[in-house]
Amino acid sequence: MVAALLVFTGAGASHHHRYGEETSLALWQPQLFFGVAVGTLAVIAMGSGFKTLELAQGGRAVATSLGGRLVDSQHQRPRRTQAA
């Protein structure tokens, strides 16, 4: 959101103009665009890597991280079948 605001307001762009010249709004700022793109991709890559490592631990680790408990197979009827 902040990046979009900066791009469309032209913040950070240096405009040198003389009296009487028309000022133009620079909507394309390659440095800002590539900086935001690299930052976004880095966050996505780190989150994906973290989740991949977490899921690679197996079903038991995933179930435990989600609040799962081991169910005793000897009971005919579980005490608690659904979270309220």
pLDDT score recorded for residue 2: 61
Question: pLDDT 10s digit of each residue in the chain, 84 long?
Answer: 666 655 555 555 555 556 666 666 688 899 999 999 999 999 999 999 999 999 999 988 889 888 988 887 776 665 565 665
- Tokens 């793109």 map to which residue? 37
CA atoms within 13 A on the CB side of 74: 0
**The pLDDT of residue 38:** 98
